[in-house]
Amino acid sequence: ALFSEFLRRRFERSASPGEQRAMWLRAGRLLAEAGETDAGLQRLTEAQAFDEAALWIIRCAPRYVADGRLQALRQHIAALPAAAAERLAYWRGLCAVDTDPAAALADMRSALQACADAADIDGLLAAAAGASTALVCSGRVAELDPWIEVLTAHADRALTARDDDTDMRLVPGLLAALVYRQPWHALSEPLAERAERLLHHE
């Protein structure tokens, strides 16, 4: 690591800003494609390739969440300028559900609007699940009804089979909303069955 830092400093002293940016961009792409996502995102951010970095974050965010690396994901999103980070409102909100439910809820509202504009039903359900978790965590269960409406409007899609990691992000929040506000809802039982199936998940 020390030798790498030495070479980097020497390169920065001898290369023009344009040459440095081109190098960080190439390095970022190579690292990200090789699975070294943290280092790749850092290089892309240094190259000011913010849109490209945001696309990599969207691609890799589910793995960060599944691995419990929310702090790392939060830091990568925070390193982007506001315009690029806004595309990541859902993931930024998900990172804040436990620590700052109010901020998480605001991000979920932004994500909901963006997904509605894009007709992204899976995104709508994910935002509803994240918002429901934030509301339950903050004791604001009376505000769950609008999010349950999103779930009800897309009930068929909500019951579509997914991989366990995706279900771990969706099912607990959606089920919590129904348990606290509408336990008689037609989706309560099938979501509870899916939640039970996930109990083996680490």
**Helices and strands in the chain: count of H runs, count of E runs:** 13, 0
Average pLDDT over residues 101-115: 95
Tokens coding 126: 């994910």
Does residue 95 sit in helix, strand or coil? helix
State residue 69's pLDDT score.
95
Average pLDDT over residues 101-106: 95
Task: Give, in order, the Cα–Cα distances in Å from 55 to each of 32, 44, 46, 103.
Answer: 11, 11, 15, 22
Average pLDDT over residues 72-85: 94
Specify the amino acid at residue 176: A
State residue 5's pLDDT score.
85
Average pLDDT over residues 146-158: 95
Measured distance CA(13)–CA(56) in Å, rounded: 29
Average pLDDT over the chain, rounded to an integer = 93
State residue 39's pLDDT score.
94
